[in-house]
Amino acid sequence: MCLAGASAAQVVSGDGGALSVVPRQTVAAFDALFDGPRDGQRAVHTKGLLLEARFVATSEAAGLSRAIHLSGSEVSALVRLSNFAGLPDLADGAAAASPRGMSIKFLLPDGGSTDIVAHSYNGFPAATPEGFLGFLRALAAPEPHVLAEFLAAHPAARRFVDTPKPAPESYATETFHGVNAFVFTNDKGKARHVRYRIEPVAGSAHLSAEAAARRGPDYLTRELADRLRIARVAFRLMAQIAGPDDDVVDGSVAWPGDRRMVELGTLTLTGIADDQAAQGSLLFTPLNLVDGISPSRDPLLIARNRAYRISYDRRTGRAIDEGSRHVRPTN
């Protein structure tokens, strides 16, 4: 297993050719799938809820990474929980609402930020940007045989489609996975490939399709608001450490469950943000990194980073400097 991770700046500045085209085509494919684009809206994970949070790292976290937010001091954070589809009015219990998304923006003492982007499926439908684009185009194709033929030839996509994705009882009872690997480096220079897992302290709990439909179209928002009136909601941020033979560049392949897990800290949701419209001005991207965390060679990291920036530019009408590591949220 190669532990040589590129820096975020190298990954962003070094892409070109197909990687410059495929992310834009991917956003267009989401538009075709969900009848977009819609002014001021994300191309995918459109319906979301913004929350305020705080994060406190464990003492074990610093042994894995020298990243500032893993030092043990409390940091503030913004968390966006979302449904999958690019449909702003999609009912929370609909099949297209899964997998759910969780994006975290840690607000750092130096005025910068660093992000985690995760979803509730442990894996990805494809190993490459081109493969994912092909999957989206097959989903949007009007002829059923196109998708059937694509799934027959692409096991990861077939696995994604066939895996049950039940609606959660609550956003507070869903587990989220960061499917791309990152390289954590501690203050002694030791580097390890890891993947994030975000586990609900309340435990995982899901609903049948019938029960979810009875809860109403916005039940996840209402339930979480009710829950937060009683107590704060917490998640454990975990790092799964790759074994010597684990694939660190293919996000479609889940690592075995017996791999070592290290608890990085506790993310506590403290309340629903007053200004929900601020979601549109927030950019969450997997390559918004800090010293001590660097990207793996997974090609989907570059493609996801570019696609999120394209969607951000489109909904806000302003471009992002690709040489900038940090995007400070607008509150």
Q: State the Cα–Cα distance between residues 156 and 236, nearest whole angstrom.
A: 28
Q: 47 near 220, Cβ under 8 Å?
A: no
Band (1; pLDDT cuts 50, 70, 90):
very low
Q: Where are the alpha helices (DSSP H) in the chain?
A: 8-14, 18-34, 61-64, 129-140, 144-153, 155-162, 209-214, 219-230, 299-316
Q: Given a cut of 60, is residue 191 above it in pLDDT?
A: yes
Burial degree of 110 (CB within 10 A; 0-12, 13-18, 19+): exposed
CA distance 229 to 236: 21
Residue 10's pLDDT is 31
Between 320 and 252, name the one with better pLDDT.
Answer: 252
Tell me the per-residue pLDDT of 85-112, one tens digit each, with 9 for 90 and over. 999 999 999 999 999 999 999 999 999 9
Do 182 and 293 contact (CB within 8 A), yes or no?
yes
d(CA 72, CA 264): 9
**37 cis-preceded (ω within 30 degrees of 0):** yes
Q: What are phi and psi of 284, to 5 degrees?
A: -105, 125
Q: Residue 20's pLDDT is what?
A: 73
> Is residue 18 over pLDDT 90?
no
> Has residue 15 got a pLDDT over 70?
no
- Residue 154 falls in the annotated catalytic set: no
Q: Is the pLDDT of residue 288 over 50?
A: yes
- pLDDT one-digit tens code per residue, 222-278: 999 999 999 999 999 999 999 999 999 999 999 999 999 999 999 999 999 999 999
| pLDDT at res. 319 | 59
Q: In which band, very low, low, confident or very high, does the pLDDT at 318 lie, cut at 50, 70 and 90? A: confident
Specify the residue for token string 């506590």.
268
pLDDT for the residue 46? 98
Q: How many CA atoms lie within 13 A of 29 on its CB side?
A: 20
Model pLDDT, residue 263: 98
Q: What is the DSSP letter of 317?
A: S
pLDDT confidence bin for 6, thresholds 50/70/90: very low
pLDDT tens-digit readout, 109-146: 999 999 999 999 999 999 999 999 999 999 999 999 99
In whole angstroms, what is the distance from residue 177 CA to residue 98 CA?
13
pTM: 0.91
Distance CA 158, CA 194 (A): 25
Rounded Cα distance, 38 and 177, in Å: 28
Radius of gyration over alpha carbons of the chain, in Å?
Answer: 19
| Residue range 153-179, pLDDT digits in tens | 999 999 999 999 999 999 999 999 999
